[in-house]
């Protein structure tokens, strides 16, 4: 398959769907999404849908990755935390935009696979940690940006404490059936964006 053409078409579609941030579009034009999906899904890697990955988890659809990344407003000097590594795809997109990314995954096999793949693809500015990050990852705090990529009952106070004073947090907040993308700004305000459906955040500040 001609993955480069598929990627170009995906970016064209994202633009048509309203993604405006050229840096986000350029990042998604670079990351080889086909490497992050299961072998049997390689031919549908660039369709605008979530796909299953091992451990019953998912890689999010391109539009949701693009929209969350756009809402996060990552700058080149930023130190970023991602909660929920999954396949590692979103971490790679963030790594194209940020100074460095710490990404945490509770399923050890997923963390191991993402870590090996990101290293193989040359993403030296991503650190993958295995563990529960529902309450963040204090050792590397504070973060300029925090992105949660699993359905969350709320934005945990621990995450707020680990975010830099001028930082922002983006998370899908709601119940296990449906969530809205929420942006938490430095002044404590929150804005709500489109409806999404993510697999649940587990752990101390997640769903049981």
95 sits in which H/E element:
helix 89-97
Rg (CA), the chain: 16
- Residue 59 CB, nearest distance to ligand SAM (Å)? 4
Cα–Cα distance between 76 and 166 in angstroms, integer? Answer: 15
Choose, by CB under 6 A, the member of 19, 51, 62, 87 that binds ligand SAM: 87
Number of residues in the chain:
208
72 sits in which H/E element:
helix 62-72
SS3 string, 30-66, reads HCCHHHCCCHHHHHHCCCCCCEEEHHHEEECCHHHHH
Pick the closer one to ligand SAM by CB: 3 or 207.
207
Is 206 near ligand SAM (CB under 6 A)? yes
Stretch that binds ligand SAM, among 53-61, 117-125, 138-146, 178-186 (CB under 6 A): 53-61
- Residue 54 CB, nearest distance to ligand SAM (Å)? 9
Stretch that binds ligand SAM, among 118-126, 176-184, 188-196, 199-207 (CB under 6 A): 199-207
Is 10 near ligand SAM (CB under 6 A)? no
Q: In this structure, are residues 149 and 126 in contact, taking their beta carbons and an 8 Å threshold?
A: no
Cβ density class 86-102: b for 16+ within 10 Å, e for less: bbbbbbbbbbbbbebbb
Is 69 near ligand SAM (CB under 6 A)? no
Choose, by CB under 6 A, the member of 46, 89, 123, 137 that binds ligand SAM: 89
Choose, by CB under 6 A, the member of 45, 58, 68, 136 that binds ligand SAM: 58
Q: Which residues are catalytic?
A: 60
Using CB under 6 A, list all residues that contact ligand SAM.
57-60, 83-84, 86-87, 89-90, 104-107, 110, 132-134, 149-150, 198-199, 201-203, 206
């Amino acid at each position: 398959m001609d993955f480069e053409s598929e990627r170009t078409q995906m970016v064209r579609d994202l633009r048509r769907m309203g993604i405006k941030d050229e840096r986000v579009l350029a990042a998604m034009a670079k990351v080889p999404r086909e490497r992050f999906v299961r072998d049997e899904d390689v031919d549908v890697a660039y369709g605008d849908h979530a796909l299953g990955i091992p451990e019953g988890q998912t890689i999010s659809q391109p539009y949701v990755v693009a929209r969350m990344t756009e809402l996060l407003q990552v700058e080149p000097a930023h130190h970023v935390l991602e909660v929920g590594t999954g396949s590692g795809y979103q971490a790679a997109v963030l790594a194209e935009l940020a100074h460095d990314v710490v990404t945490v995954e509770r399923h050890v096999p997923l963390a191991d696979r993402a870590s090996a793949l990101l290293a193989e693809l040359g993403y030296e500015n991503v650190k993958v940690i295995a563990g529960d990050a529902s309450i963040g990852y204090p050792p590397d705090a504070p973060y300029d940006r925090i992105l949660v990529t699993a359905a969350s009952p709320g934005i945990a106070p621990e995450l707020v404490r680990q975010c830099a004073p001028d930082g922002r947090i983006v998370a899908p907040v709601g119940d296990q059936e449906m969530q809205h993308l929420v942006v938490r700004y430095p002044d404590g305000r929150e804005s709500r964006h489109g409806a999404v459906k993510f697999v649940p955040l587990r752990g101390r500040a997640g769903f049981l």
